[in-house]
Copies of this chain bind each other. A is one copy, B any other.
Amino acid sequence: MANSKYAYVRDFELPDPLLPGVFMVLRIDGHSFHRFSEKHNFAKPNDVRALQLMDHAAQDLMEEYPDVVLGFGESDEFSFLLRKSTSLYNRRHSKIVSTLTSLFTSSYVFHWSRYFPDTPLGYPPSFDGRIVLYPGTKEVKDYFAWRQADTHINNLYNTTFWALVQQGGQTTTEAHSTLRGTFAKDKHEILFSRFGINYNQLDAQFRKGSVLVREDLEEEKDGEVSRRPKSKVVMLHCDIIKDEFWEERSGLLVES
């Protein structure tokens, strides 16, 4: 065969299996999204359309990959939890990280016009992906707590910052200066006293991020047992830092 003399080049493809028995978290981040959001005039501090498009892409990914049981998104990033026992693509690192990031990206571009009907996509956006392994349930919970705490911190800052600029007439330099050294309660106070904004009454989507959970559906078909219980992906904007979230959904962290 004409090809066989070159086939040795495949010997350079080394195996890259991820350790079994641990959770995988895939985090996908927008690549150069500062530029991308400027170019497409994303609203500040939050662009509902852009967030919904991220949510849609994440939902598509979870519909396609049943072993992804949880997603959490904020701004231009989304994190996904894979079942501990997943054997997706034989746990090959490159295969998983590239394919899932690719599908997320594809869905983002595919659905763009639905969320931005009046803003044509100016150029193809891209995302990077990384997989982090977490051995235990504590670390998984803390990972997602870390992301949601980050959402809170960023959103409070950005909300106050843009209120100072958009409603308070400050320059961005002035607004940064105003906020330097302030604590959370100071920002709440600025929002309330100067702009009449009660931060805690803002849309939970902005304050809490987007939580996508796979929920199993009960199935009763006259005694017939289906091979896999059907599931659907549900969107929430709830607290995932406290234990309640996990206690009510113990299936997310089951061992197998």
- From B21, B98, B109, B135, A130 is in contact (CB under 8 Å) with B98
Which of A143-151, A206-214, A227-235, A243-251 lines the interface with chain B? A143-151
Asked whether, in the complex, the Cβ of A17 is within 8 Å of the Cβ of B19, the reply is no
**A27 to B: closest C-beta gap in Å:** 9
**A12 to B: closest C-beta gap in Å:** 5
Q: List residues of A whose CB falls within 8 A of some B CB.
A: 1-3, 6-9, 11-15, 17, 19-22, 31, 60, 93-95, 97-99, 101-111, 121, 123-136, 139, 142-143, 145-146, 149-150, 152-153, 184, 255
A199 to B14, CA, bound (A): 37
- From B99, B111, B125, B127, A127 is in contact (CB under 8 Å) with B99
- From B9, B60, B98, B125, A129 is in contact (CB under 8 Å) with B98
Q: A19-B135, A101-B101, A103-B126 are in contact. List 6 more A-B contacts (CB 8 A).
A: A9-B142, A12-B19, A19-B133, A106-B109, A106-B124, A109-B109
Q: Could you name 8 residue pairs across A and B whose Cβ atoms are closer than 8 Å?
A: A3-B153, A6-B142, A6-B149, A12-B20, A12-B133, A31-B99, A98-B98, A102-B128
Asked whether, in the complex, the Cβ of A14 is within 8 Å of the Cβ of B6, the reply is no
A136 to B110, CA, bound (A): 40
